Structure 1
Amino acid sequence: MFAAREGRNTINLETIGKKIKELRLRKKLTQQQVADLSGISKSMLSKIENGQTASAVATLSKISEALDVSLSWLIDDREEQDLVFLPKSNRRARIGDDNMGYSYELLANRSSLSGFEPTIVHVTPKNLNLRQESYTHSQDEFIFVLEGSIYLSYDGKNYFMEKGDSACFQGSKPHLFIPVDENEAKVLTFFIDNPL
């Protein structure tokens, strides 16, 4: 089982998995139903619920949509407030697995108030062969490269992005952050609810 080890606090995947399972059972949904709604396999959902695998933020976002909760509620157990002041020293450790190519830090827990999810995504260069499948989700996405460089693969085309570059796009179209070299990149990401 992976547990984040950076920073003062530790978040392990078991905590997220437990919340998903408890909420799914409260809503009287089967693993297959949530998996179908999330666009993932039942076996993948089972591994996530049991804390046996790390998940990309887009996958957790789909699960949160299927369960009708915010992504921030799923990965952060703090109460939502009018003002969320979060000093760096109090920020939760990174969540995810570098071997999957991503880990991320939740910057605020305000989704129900503001309609966006601010996150720092760490794009790591390890195991490039695991990064071939693109992601989709219902929210629009804004990204800003804080450090390093990436290729933004979006709807079949690759766009080179380096520190200071930004992009805004529809999350419903296939997309993926691809490392350019052997250095980690940091990408500030906002998931924005798209009012239809």
Structure 2
Amino acid sequence: MIIYLQEIGKKVKEARLNKALTQQELADKCQLTKSHISKIENGQAAPAVATLSKIAQELGAPLSWFLETNIQNKLSIVKGKERKVKVGSSEIGYTYETLAKRAQFSKVEPVIITVLPEAELVEPFTHSEDEFIYVLSGSINLFYDGELHYLKQGDSAYFEGDVPHIFLPTESKEAKVLAMFIQVNSL
């Protein structure tokens, strides 16, 4: 039980620091004492589920993340046959496969994006992360900030995600792209 409390405490502290909050600030938001937050983070107090739920809500993390005990923080192995399609469909022209079971607050998310041949030009989109892409197979047209860039197998690009962009296949074949979404701290 002590190890379990220490794991919950580490996660609370990690999430709090990720949000750049002091123990006092988190305590104020949750209507708790700084001492109680400190005891939770140090594995000296077992938070009630309602308390942990309130903390999770304030830190923007799912309650389940704090309660999971089998997350591997230092090593993530995903066998090829175990990869899951995260999101996507023929309607949007993409599918995404996750490549790592990453920690809740990792700053990098690696995925394989399959650009489907039926993908049509849709509105470019933006997101808050920087993005690195490497074309594994096929070729794509990367539309970035209104400009067209042709990329084929072996080519790569790194760009800021908050600039409008989209990539589409150049042929009637699918293309596979390794993408890394990288959360960049804004100062």
TM-score band w.r.t. shorter chain: 0.5 to 0.7
Does 2:150 match 1:160?
Answer: yes
Q: Which residue of 2 aligns with 1:106?
A: 98
Aligned positions of 1:47-196 closer than 5 A? 68=60, 79=71, 81-93=73-85, 95-112=87-104, 114-128=106-120, 131-196=121-186
Shift of 1:89: 2.0
TM-score calculated relative to the size of structure 2: 0.59
Partner of 1:135: helix, strand, or coil?
Answer: coil
CA gap of 1:173–1:80, structure 2 versus 1, over 3 A, is: farther
CA distance in 2, matches of 1:99, 1:124: 10
Q: 1:165 to 1:80 in 2, by over 3 A?
A: same
Judging changes above 3 Å, is the alpha-carbon distance between structure 1 residues 106 and 195 closer, same or farther for their aligned structure 2 residues? same
Taking a change above 3 Å as real, the CA distance of residues 163 and 195 of structure 1, as seen in their structure-2 partners, is: same
Partner in structure 2 of residue 10 of structure 1 = none
Return the offset for 1:95: 3.4
Deviation at residue 118 of structure 1 after TM alignment: 0.2
The letter for the 1-side match of 2:111 is T
Larger Rg: 2
Alpha-carbon distance in 2 for matches of 1:137, 1:95? 16
CA–CA distance in structure 2, aligned partners of residues 69 and 181 of structure 1: 41
Task: Check 1:126–1:91 CA distance in 2 against 1; reply closer, same or farther (3 A cut).
Answer: same
Instruction: Point out where structure 1 has 5 or more consecutive residues left out of the alignment.
Output: 1-66
Q: Which moved more, 1:79-88 or 1:101-110?
A: 79-88
> Following superposition of structure 1 onto structure 2, how do residues 23-42 of structure 1 map, counting pairs within 5 Å?
none
Aligned length: 122
Mapped to 2, the partners of 1:118 and 1:127 lie a distance apart of 22
Superposed displacement of residue 87, structure 1: 1.2
- The one-letter amino acid of 1:116's match is V
For the aligned residue pairs, the C-alpha RMSD in angstroms reads 2.3
SS of corresponding position for 2:84: coil
What TM-score results when the alignment is normalised by the length of structure 1?
A: 0.57
**Cα distance in 1, alignment partners of residues 95 and 61 from structure 2:** 21
Q: Call closer, same or farther: CA 1:188–1:69 in 2, change over 3 Å.
A: farther
Q: Structure 2: which 5+ residue stretches go unaligned?
A: 1-58
Secondary structure (helix, strand or coil) at the match of 2:91 reads: helix
